[in-house]
Structure 1
Amino acid sequence: MSTQHSPRTRTRPRGVKAGFAAAGVLALLTVNACSAAETGGASKTVNLHTPSWVGAEVNTAVAAYLLEHELGYQVNTRQMDETPAWDAMSQGKIDAILEDWGHPQEEKRYVDGNKSVVPAGELGVTGHIGWFVPKYVADEHPDVTDHANLNKYADLFKTPESGDQGQFIKGDPSYVSHDDALIKNLGLNYKPIEAGAEATHLAQLDQLYKNKKPFLTYWWTPQWMNATMDLVEVKLPPYKEGCDADKKAVACAYPDVPLKKWMNADFSQKDSAAARFLKNFSWTTEQQNLVAKYVAADKMTPEKAAEKWVKENESTWKAWLPKK
């Protein structure tokens, strides 16, 4: 796995499948993005990228709500995959991307190359992938949280699908992972079983968790279900730069990825209230997960979820507003 990417693939790093995040979830918020010139109000229009996974959708929703209700901007949002979004941002069709898991080729082309994109700071959320068990399992078997002890508990995680081995639940098959190699290279008596698409994976874990069943799974943060499930990470050998370069020989943990924001250079240089606000926008994984839960689990629209969070967290977002 590249250290620059999320659980998702390079071509679609964070593509969330249909399921918990209902299709058209941004219908009440999203309008087709257009250039500032087409709106007739360039100075009071902001065009934001909306990714297709719910955690990043709520970044945009909260930012858009505050830009509109506190700073008086019109916000246009456009949902697209990340590479096209970088292309659009370089052309000024999108002003900012608020959650990026790392696009080194685009950074080389647009940040280091033609200087059309500039950094806008970190989001405050750190992306992390790992192996997890429910807290109720860890409470009963405290040493299960070290990979060196997993073979001791293989019988605990057996299922009809895994036979005589413990079951390891893999993530969406389109996501980048090296769990097969980890299990083999760490000498673990576990059989990796694909859960299917993300929605199927989440539904399976939800059912197991509600029934207090033991499970060992690929998992990541930010992820809204962390607001509804208490999971504990299993310690893998520490990550060191380059330890995942040979995909077949991987025997180390996944790296942490501080998520970044980016802006169109011209938009940033105008130093508008909107640009300053978006640079200041920074919140925690827990805050993002909570708003994502409002959308994915509580079935609120992103706009209503953003409104609820804004009304309940004034002390947090007030610091994001540019000083007059």
Structure 2
Amino acid sequence: MTKKRKFRQIAAYVLGAVTAVAILALGMACTAEEEKEKIVFADLNWESAEIQTRIAGYILEHGYGYPVENVVADTTSQFPAFENDDVHVSMEVWVDNIEDVYNDAVAAGSIVPAGVTLPDNWQGWVIPKYVKDANPGLVSVTDIPDYQDVFVTPDSNGKARFVTCIPGWG
């Protein structure tokens, strides 16, 4: 990833975080004398969501005086937490991974989409270039059965090992 693209990606994260924080602050406005309600973030287990959560939480806490809490969650567990009012904000949702759950939550009114933070996101499977160079016919995930031996590891008992996302991502 080029430095320029990385900078744009970080800037997009920060802009998304600031936008979400501004929306929250406007929606929860109160006078200085009032005790402010705690804002609970879904503390998601990947870096882009973690940085957005920390930035938004810092702004709300230090800029607006709201107490902030982060509750461990993942892609799917955050939705019941919204329904139960255990979580108030999620800084990043990968809708493609859980489209039905997401759409149901929007329809039920348990979440309100507040904007897009990663407009150029991409999801897919990749293989190292050296694997592709050694196996030019391997062009799709559907080709894996023909190349099973390429993905065998010492502890996979002769079966192909598929490395995917961490548990909880959908």
State the TM bucket, normalised to the shorter chain. Answer: 0.5 to 0.7
Structure with larger RCO (C-alpha < 8 A, sep 6+): 1
More strand by proportion, 1 or 2? 1
Unaligned runs of 5+ in 2: 1-27, 29-34, 156-161, 166-170
Which of residues 130, 149, 152 is equivalent to 1:193? Answer: 152
Give the structure 1 partner of residue 62 of structure 2.
69
Give the structure 1 partner of residue 11 of structure 2.
none
SS at match of 2:150: strand
Query: Do the aligned partners of 1:46 and 1:95 also contact (CA within 8 Å) in 2?
Result: yes
Q: Compute the displacement of 1:52 (Å).
A: 2.8
**CA–CA separation in structure 1 for the residues paired with 2:80 and 2:148:** 45
Which of residues 151, 174, 182 is equivalent to 2:135? Answer: 151
Give the structure 2 partner of residue 118 of structure 1.
112
TM-score, normalising length: structure 1: 0.31
TM-score, normalising length: structure 2: 0.53
CA displacement 1:134-184 (0-9 Å, x = unmatched): 6xx6xxxxxx8xx5x543699xxxxxxxxxxxxxxxxxxxxxxx94x4323
* Pairwise CA RMSD: 3.7
Distance change >3 Å, CA 194–CA 123, structure 1 → 2: farther
Q: Compute the displacement of 1:127 (Å).
A: 4.0
Question: Is it true that 1:41 corresponds to 2:36 in the alignment?
Answer: yes
**CA–CA separation in structure 2 for the residues paired with 1:182 and 1:192:** 12
Q: Compute the displacement of 1:116 (Å).
A: 2.4
Paired residues for 1:293-312 under 5 Å: none
Query: Do the aligned partners of 2:61 and 2:68 also contact (CA within 8 Å) in 1?
Result: yes
Question: How many residues get paired?
Answer: 122
SS at match of 1:94: coil
Opposite residue 91 of structure 2, the aligned amino acid is L
Query: Do the aligned partners of 1:129 and 1:219 also contact (CA within 8 Å) in 2?
Result: no
Unaligned runs of 5+ in 1: 1-35, 138-143, 155-177, 197-216, 221-324
SS at match of 2:109: coil
Question: Is it true that 1:91 corresponds to 2:63 in the alignment?
Answer: no
More helix by proportion, 1 or 2? 2
Percentage identity across paired residues of the two chains: 21
